[in-house]
Amino acid sequence: MPTKTTKKKSEQPTPKPMKRLVSGIKPTGQLTLGNYIGALKQFVKLQDELIDTEFFIFIADLHAITTPQERQELKKNIRSVAAVYLACGLDPEKVNLFIQSEVNEHAVLGYIMESTAYIGEMERMTQYKDKKVKQTEGIRTSLMTYPALMAADILLYDADIVPIGDDQKQHLELTRNLATRFNHLYGDTFVVPEGFFPETGARIMSLSEPSKKMDKSNENAKSYIMLLDDLGTVRNKIKSAVTDSDGFIKYDVKKKPGISNLLTIYSSLTDIPIKELEKQYKDKSYSAFKTDLGEVVADALRPIQQRYFEYINNPRLDEILDQGAERAKLIASRKIQKVFKKMGLGRVK
């Protein structure tokens, strides 16, 4: 009879390490439908699909202070983003949810990334160039250097995958360059991450100026939909969305940016392909289409709003954030030790 042999531990195949996913949202004001479709909805979908992946999702409060923030307002917004994450369906059993500033290593690695990046690279970032022209004086240094902090946010956790909207693509590219540069200078340290962009809805446009991104900092409140807007307001904003005078429902971003954006929103929220929607609304008016879209958006936001109010004043929210920060700190502090060692900082052997 063959004897059963047990392999020594060193001979056993090492278990495949879990992959990691990282993403964050800045708590400046309330979140928009663009944030939902471009980011939040993706996080929720991926948490159920990527079972071999550990999720680190955070509230990017250090990024908020690149522009002036009122103290109480910032506090409120941080909590609000945390509640929105959960209301949108993030499952704390599957996701480490935490506040960026509660894990000090973000700022430490942020500085190290500034010491890896070149000024020219920072100055070339389109978001910085756009934001700089909107502000005439008192532009904070961090407004320029914040992509280095974003790189740190990602590299700290050895993220394999970073789900983001289109507007963050350039920052992700910079992150990849910085990781590669650092690895080259100091030896293999960081995983070079991949971006993950939604197939439909990576760039939701303004309702009033469909050539621009939907953005909460726009002065015209009709240009964006807030996730917490009351549903009557949501329907009205969609009714007043800018379209064209052609009168037929067809996806053509160049010639018909307004209706194309509305088709994108409809398709992202229902998973009905745009081609299918074009057929369905072939002989319908813009007005009928907008009425239906108003209902689609209201149906998507209703459950989020209900759950939001269950979370916002619930002590369970703090427990979830504590638990997330604890796990994040463990991973982040190990990584910082490794980085210090590679660079010769401090006394790490």
Catalytic residues: 131, 213, 216
CA gap 266, 271 in Å, rounded = 8
- Of 165-173, 238-246, 274-282, 339-347, the window that binds ligand TYM (rule: CB under 6 A) is 165-173
Burial class (CB in 10 A: 0-12, 13-18, 19+), 316: exposed
CA gap 271, 65 in Å, rounded = 36
Binder to ligand TYM among 110, 165, 195, 210 (CB under 6 A)? 165
CB nearer to ligand TYM: pick between 28 and 243:
28
Residue ranges of the alpha helices (H) in the chain? 33-35, 41-49, 61-64, 71-87, 105-114, 119-123, 126-134, 141-155, 169-186, 231-239, 257-270, 274-280, 286-311, 315-343
* Contact in structure between 76 and 116 (CB atoms under 8 Å): no
Q: For the window 15-54, what string marks contact with ligand TYM as x by the rule CB under 6 A?
A: -------xxxxx-------xx-xxx---------------
Instruction: Select the residue whose beta carbon is closest to ligand TYM and give its number.
Output: 38
Binding to ligand TYM by residue 154, rule CB under 6 A? Answer: yes
Helix axes 105-114, 141-155, angle to 10 degrees: 110
Binding to ligand TYM by residue 63, rule CB under 6 A? Answer: yes
Would you state the torsion angle of the CA atoms of residues 77, 82, 85, 90, taken in this order, to the nearest 10 degrees?
A: 180
Binder to ligand TYM among 121, 167, 244, 278 (CB under 6 A)? 167
Backbone angles phi, psi at 155, to 5 degrees: -75, -25
Residue among 88, 101, 127, 58 nearest 306 (CA): 88
The footprint of ligand TYM on residues 213-232 (CB under 6 A) is 213-214
Binding to ligand TYM by residue 60, rule CB under 6 A? Answer: yes
Q: For the CB of residue 173, give the shortest distance to ligand TYM in the complex, in Å.
A: 13
Q: For the CB of residue 133, give the shortest distance to ligand TYM in the complex, in Å.
A: 17
Q: For the CB of residue 235, give the shortest distance to ligand TYM in the complex, in Å.
A: 20
CA gap 63, 60 in Å, rounded = 5
Binding to ligand TYM by residue 203, rule CB under 6 A? Answer: yes
Burial class (CB in 10 A: 0-12, 13-18, 19+), 27: buried
Binding to ligand TYM by residue 150, rule CB under 6 A? Answer: yes
Kindly give, in sequence order, each residue whose CB lies less than 8 Å from that of residue 169, ignoring residues fewer than 6 positions away: 195, 197
Q: Which two tokens stand for residue 258?
A: 């307004």
Handedness of CA 152, 178, 193, 184 (dihedral sign): negative
Binding to ligand TYM by residue 106, rule CB under 6 A? Answer: no
CB nearer to ligand TYM: pick between 227 and 339:
227
Binder to ligand TYM among 86, 164, 225, 328 (CB under 6 A)? 164
Q: For the CB of residue 147, give the shortest distance to ligand TYM in the complex, in Å.
A: 8
- Of 43-51, 150-158, 263-271, 275-283, the window that binds ligand TYM (rule: CB under 6 A) is 150-158
CB nearer to ligand TYM: pick between 25 and 112:
25
Instruction: Tell me the residue type at 224.
Output: Y
Binding to ligand TYM by residue 125, rule CB under 6 A? Answer: no
CA gap 227, 297 in Å, rounded = 10
CB nearer to ligand TYM: pick between 212 and 284:
212
The footprint of ligand TYM on residues 67-96 (CB under 6 A) is none
* Contact in structure between 153 and 105 (CB atoms under 8 Å): no
- Of 130-138, 157-165, 300-308, 338-346, the window that binds ligand TYM (rule: CB under 6 A) is 157-165
Binding site for ligand TYM (CB under 6 A): 22-26, 34-35, 37-39, 60, 63, 150, 153-154, 162, 164-165, 167-168, 202-204, 213-214
